[in-house]
Structure 1
């Protein structure tokens, strides 16, 4: 799997995901808040499946995600 989520993109995705899931779990927002699992997962795995379709790579390089050496 190729890494396509860079460092800043990753931090933002994880933060937004955690906030949405936290708000949904606490009942502040509705069930739609669980959509925060998507940015959380894409931030953790450093891969967003629609980026290749759109020709986007926020990593800046064509990196391999295996071994944790991605997007340094």
Structure 2
């Protein structure tokens, strides 16, 4: 698995993911569907930040990382 998420992108994903998970877990979202959407999106963002790999970036051929991949 190659790295395709750069440091700034990684930080933004981590912060946004934590905010989305916190919104879901604090009960501030009025509709159950919003709870699940927020929770799943937040977990995915945190995971892509931790792994430094985004499958969607791979599909569209994008990389924000300066690390050269073999």
- RMSD across aligned positions (CA): 1.4
Q: Report what 1:42 is aligned to.
A: 48
Q: Report what 1:20 is aligned to.
A: 20
Q: How many residues align?
A: 64
Deviation at 1:46, TM superposition (A): 0.3
- The worse-fitting range, judged by mean Cα deviation, of 34-43 and 24-33 is 24-33
List gaps (5 residues or longer) in structure 1: 65-72
TM-score (norm 1): 0.80
List gaps (5 residues or longer) in structure 2: 30-34
Deviation at 1:31, TM superposition (A): 2.7
Q: Indicate the structure with greater strand content.
A: 1
Instruction: Provide the rounded CA distance (Å) in 2 between the counterparts of 1:8 and 1:17.
Output: 14
Deviation at 1:52, TM superposition (A): 1.5
